[in-house]
Amino acid sequence: MGLCNTASRVRRATVTATVVAVAFALSGCSLVGRSQANEIAEINVSSPELRDGMPLPGDYSCKGDQGSPPLRWSSEPLPKAKSIAIVVDSITSSGSAVHWVLYNIPATTTELGPNATADPPEGSGQAKATSGKVGYEPPCNDKGSYRFTVYTLSARVKSSEGAPLPEVLKEIAGNTIARGRLTTVDIE
């Protein structure tokens, strides 16, 4: 009898974990999870160089030399906004990777020019990418999805420049009050 109850509890736990994982995946969250906030506002993300659903220009890949692309964003007024974070990640046939994390951008900032990784906004920090490099690591895989996600945060990230990627992503996830994304596919 005890063995049956144990097996039943294990099955319930497995089903619960599966449901949570599927819900997490369907929510649009990937490397950075949902915030503890009740409701996450939407951010409109655009770029003079990138188009949602179109190829990533080669200049912003490892084939080019432009560094990070320019980005713009807007949202409804968010009185609790304390900072902005940008996460660039990819999903390709060979796996997923984080190419850039820029955080503690002043909350009043609404755009970054080209190659902001070389001259980031004052007071901001950059985490190590999946490769271990600090700054923008240009995507190289010709086939995949490249997501440029902008997060509005209710607090500044406390991790220092070059902090481990999981540490910074956890802080971003825990403080997200708004999120928006521009996704490119493949590389020109």
Rounded to an integer, what distance in angstroms lies between the CA atom of residue 12 and that of residue 23? 16
Per-residue pLDDT tens listing for the chain (188 residues): 454 444 444 334 333 333 333 333 333 444 444 444 458 999 999 999 999 999 999 999 999 999 999 999 999 999 999 999 999 999 999 899 999 999 999 999 999 999 999 999 999 999 999 999 999 999 999 999 999 999 999 999 999 887 889 999 999 999 999 999 999 999 99
| pLDDT at res. 160 | 85
126: closest CA among 156, 163, 82?
Answer: 163
Q: Tell me, what's the pLDDT at 115?
A: 95
Give the full edge-to-edge strand order of the sheet including 71-75: 111-112, 71-75, 41-46, 176-185, 145-153, 83-92, 95-106, 125-126
Residue 106 CA from chain centroid, whole number = 17
Q: 39: exposed, middle or buried (C-beta count within 10 Å: 0-12, 13-18, 19+)?
A: exposed
Q: How confident is the model at residue 162, as a pLDDT?
A: 78
pTM of the predicted model as reported, rounded to 2 decimal places: 0.80
Give the pLDDT score at 161. 81
